Structure 1
């Protein structure tokens, strides 16, 4: 199974990737370059199971529903091990933690007007066309009305993307469109009982401010802000981060977003938090001010890609946590490699960029002592990882 969730075969000595096939199967497929379109399964794998969603193979949201759990979990754990091996790093990877929970609390639906009416859904498999949906079984129950709401928005303003977040206080909806908002669009907040409706990340109407809890604190979400895909995923990642910092008394949380790690860490240690998203930093600062029983939290807006914390700025921290976007944190990892920080905890959503940053830290004198994969994007090829690096004694 390839790293994108496509079974890999060979034709004339070159690899061919077949979506929805499984290792060991004999299939008939139409080959085009390095990919193939599955036509028929001649000899199925004993590991093949029935997918739970009737839209599987037509909707592009999930790549793997047809593989039994045990083998799927080993493959996903192997994605992290392989990425490390490709960087020349030998490390024991812990068993995969299932963090799907009750489902994903975020979804972006594509909406289009057609001659037959307004449709809403995800991209079709290997296509930019929209596969219409009325329901998605991997979403939390609170997002069940999302498809109908998206169609109503499309009927008012035409083609658009509609991002939904199921916050703890209600649905947060952000519409990406080139059209100007209308009074009828604003009225949907009341008729659909939405928490907030934004257009191009600018709040239009707020009925109830969307909030999520982080430890003992509550964070008011900025429009369009990043949030982990599942509540279980966020809680699992945070648990691992807290375990790995040990008895650190001063921790830096870099690429902190709205502070879902920082606010939990502040329950036991002093925290410095930084992120380039000014709205997220403002939300974290407000949450810190309103919460009680926390250690001091200092939050600053800073572009850590262009202006990473350098070694002299890092010298006072006992531990550093970094959780960058998919591209990783190469510039920050280079500075950490020059630092004297005792423990570095890396959180990543991309095994390849994680492994690259891990190599930089190891070359700087760190030991990779723990690697834990986390699966909050179940049924896809995406996997999270939390890793502990400890400064080797001189």
Structure 2
């Protein structure tokens, strides 16, 4: 099984990737340029199970629902281990946490209107064509009507992308559309039918019935329109527990790529926190949450592009510990400064095993030891893996 969740086979001396095939299976497939489409199962794996979603295999989403839980988990751990092995890194025992919880709390539906037909759903596998769906059981119950709602918006706007987020007090919707000719009252009518808390169109506020918020250990974070959150609430809790339980007795902590501050707010219960991010709206949300929370130590926020301007080793002298949670590209430049610093405790959160392994190599070469490692599965049934790691020296 490849790291993208596709079966790997040999055909005519060449490697062929076979989506939806499992290790040990014999399949009949049509091969085109190194990729194959299954036409029949000749000898199914004993690990093959019935997917629970009727759209499995068509919408391009949960590509591994047909795999039993135990081998699926083992494979996901192996993907992380293989990335570390390629960098020549030794690592402690790798633990696994299922963080699906009640489901994913955010998704982007692609709405399309063509020849009088309106559809909304997810992209088909390796395609820009949309598979129309009426339900997505991977989402939290609060988003059960999100496909219907997205279809209604597409009926008004035409082609659009509808980002839906379930927050504590309702549903927040951020729409992107290339052509906007609809009257706003048509959009607000759709919103009213679906009890939407906030609605933006291309970044402009269309409707605000209240402030969308999520809770971070007692602090209410006002989420900006389309703001980034961890995919599941259970995933955020699992990552936060790893961070807070491994940060030690630090009195001043840097939270890099902090977003809206799910880690910073929890860490501020025990230490002063300086939070850095390039997203001004996210920093504003964190600052507001910190002002209104009780019993926290000071949190300062700073707008800074850490890809172009990482905190230098000299600047890092102000801190006892660092947490960093970069986007999929990782934090190569920042890792080089961390490796040069005096720090003894660094916690890394990553959503990409390959860039995590690259950054880990930099830290280890700088004298750190990879002391703890956990895979946190909040994108269940997919090839995506979230990693939490403690580096110490």
TM-score range, shorter chain: over 0.9
Unpaired segments of 5 or more residues in structure 2? none
For structure 1, the 5+ residue unaligned runs are none
Aligned residues: 391
In structure 1, the residue matched to 2:338 is 336
Distance 1:98 1:37 in 2: 30
- Give the aligned partner of residue 364 of structure 2: 362
Residue of structure 2 in register with 1:214 after alignment: 216
State the partner residue of 2:230: 228
Alignment of structure 1 residues 149-160 onto 2, 5 Å = 149-160=149-160
SS in 1 for 2:154: helix
Q: In structure 2, how many angstroms separate the alpha carbons of the residues matched to 1:161 and 1:205?
A: 17
Separation in 1, partners of 2:34, 2:272: 52
1:344-387, CA deviations, whole angstroms, 9 ceiling, x for partnerless residues? 00000000000000000011111111111110000000000000
- TM-superposition CA deviations, 1:53-96 (whole Å, max 9, x none): 11111110111011110010000011111100010101134221
Aligned residues of 1:29 and 1:39 also touching (Cα < 8 A): yes
Measure, in 2, the Cα distance between the counterparts of 1:62 and 1:116. 29
Q: Deviations over 1:187-229 (max 9, x none)?
A: 3333322100001122221001110011121100111111100
In the TM superposition, residue 247 of structure 1 has moved relative to its aligned partner by 1.5
Q: What corresponds to 1:293 in structure 2? A: 295
Distance in 2 between residues matched to 1:28 and 1:178, nearest whole Å: 42
- The counterpart of 2:349, out of the listed 347, 351, 364, is 347
**In the alignment, what sits opposite 1:137?**
137
Task: Map 1:107-256; keep pairs closer than 5 Å.
Answer: 107-115=107-115, 117-180=117-180, 182=183, 183-256=185-258
Q: 1:373 maps to which residue?
A: 375
User: How many angstroms apart in 1 are the aligned matches of 2:158 and 2:30?
Assistant: 37
Task: Quote the residue 2:19 is aligned against.
Answer: 19
Do residues 42 (structure 1) and 48 (structure 2) align?
A: no
Q: Aligned partners of 1:18 and 1:193: how far apart in 2? A: 42
Q: Give the structure 2 partner of residue 270 of structure 1.
A: 272
TM-score with structure 2 length normalisation?
Answer: 0.98
The Cα offsets for residues 302-328 of structure 1, whole Å up to 9 and x where unpaired, read as: 000001000011012111000000000
Deviations 1:95-140 (A, max 9, x none): 2110000000001000111335211000112211110011001000
Counterpart Cα distance in 1 of 2:16 and 2:93: 28
Work out the CA distance in 2 between the residues paired with 1:176 and 1:93.
43
Q: Partners in 2 of 1:178 and 1:352 — Cα distance?
A: 34
State the TM-score, normalized to the length of structure 1.
0.97
3-state SS, counterpart of residue 151 of structure 1: helix
SS at match of 1:138: coil
SS in 1 for 2:162: strand
Asked if the contact 1:214–1:264 (Cα under 8 Å) also holds between the matched residues in 2, the reply is yes
Q: What SS does structure 1 have at the residue aligned with 2:357? A: helix
Residues 137-157 of structure 1: CA distance to partner in whole angstroms, max 9, x if unpaired? 100000011111111111111
Contact (CA 8 Å) 1:252, 1:321: kept in 2 or not?
yes
